[in-house]
Amino acid sequence: TIDLRHVASARAPLEWPLQPAITRYPPRCVALLPPGLYAAGSGFCSGSFEGRVAVHFQPQPLKRAPATAAAADKWGEDFMFKCHRRLAADGKPRIFAVNSVAFHPAKPHQLATAGSDGEALLWDLKGRIKVG
């Protein structure tokens, strides 16, 4: 945090390069990746009005993750997934905004989302599947 009363002595925040927009709408909520989840750097998840969650990774230039079988599953590449959707009576999908994203405290690879549909969903980010 930065103390606005002493801006001159404040430490400069870390700079992140601009992320290309992978959704059409601005984010409604953001959560930083827990420490250790992405060994080669850091990142964040953002939820949007269009019922999508985007996962952005920010690798550190001098740090590289060890080559393992996990590297083959594209972990570390930005991706996005649809959530909080329901079929209406006429068969058309109803899309609900993602209002909140948060990581599970004991299982950092799991992300919880809360949507305008009144549901909370749990996702396994490494497996890219819905858990519950």
Per-residue pLDDT tens over the stretch 5-53 = 666 665 565 565 556 666 677 889 999 999 888 888 888 999 999 999 9
- Is residue 3 one of the residues assigned to a domain? no
- Is residue 4 one of the residues assigned to a domain? no
SS3 of residue 63 by DSSP: coil
- Is residue 11 one of the residues assigned to a domain? no
- Is residue 113 one of the residues assigned to a domain? yes
- Is residue 70 one of the residues assigned to a domain? yes
pLDDT at 61: 61
Domain interval for residue 33: 21-130
Enter the pTM of the model. Answer: 0.73
- Is residue 10 one of the residues assigned to a domain? no
Contact 47, 28 (CB under 8 A): yes
- Is residue 54 one of the residues assigned to a domain? yes
Name the residue among 103, 93, 4 with its Cα closest to residue 50. Answer: 93
| CA pair distance 126, 22, nearest whole angstrom | 19
Whole-number percent of the chain with pLDDT over 90: 55
Domain count, the chain: 1
**With the C-alpha atoms ordered 74, 76, 80, 86, is the resulting torsion angle positive or negative?**
positive
| CA pair distance 77, 29, nearest whole angstrom | 20
- Model confidence over 89-113: pLDDT tens digits? 999 999 999 999 999 999 999 999 9
Q: Which residue has the higher pLDDT, 128 or 62?
A: 128
Residue 52 half-sphere exposure toward CB, CA atoms < 13 A: 14
- Is residue 14 one of the residues assigned to a domain? no
pLDDT at 128: 92
